[in-house]
Amino acid sequence: MSEGEIAESRVLPGIFGHCRSAVVDSRLKVIGIHDLRVVDAGVMPLITSGNTNSPTLMIAERAASWIIQDGLSEA
């Protein structure tokens, strides 16, 4: 990237929920695919007006605890 360019990152909400168009469930598991999760800013139902870094880190922390819980319950 050259000087003066702006890097842009897009977050596309709307993949999370209980409606028919949802891609992931409440524990971030991809609906219809075994052992696959989506852990990124795209699972936020509404995007914050500020930087998405901190909320995304919190999503990752929560997902990590769910993955650990699920692993322990399967053992």
Per-residue pLDDT of 50-63, as tens digits, reads 888 999 999 999 99
Give me the residue label for tokens 């919190």.
58
Please tell me whether residue 33 adopts helix, strand or coil conformation.
coil
**Beta carbons of 67 and 37 less than 8 angstroms apart:** yes
Per-residue pLDDT of 20-59, as tens digits, reads 778 888 899 988 999 899 898 888 877 788 888 999 999 9
pLDDT at position 2 over 60: no
Residue 5 placed within a domain: no
pLDDT at 15: 65
Residue 25 placed within a domain: yes
Residue 6 placed within a domain: no
> What is the pLDDT confidence band of residue 16, given thresholds at 50, 70 and 90?
low
Could you give the number of structural domains in the chain? 1
CB-based burial, 22-53: b 16+ in 10 Å, e otherwise: ebbeeebbeeeeeeebebebbbbeeeeeeebe
Residue 29 placed within a domain: yes
Q: Which domain holds residue 73?
A: 12-75
Name which of 62, 75, 73 is nearest 29 in CA terms: 62
Residue 64 placed within a domain: yes
Residue 3 placed within a domain: no
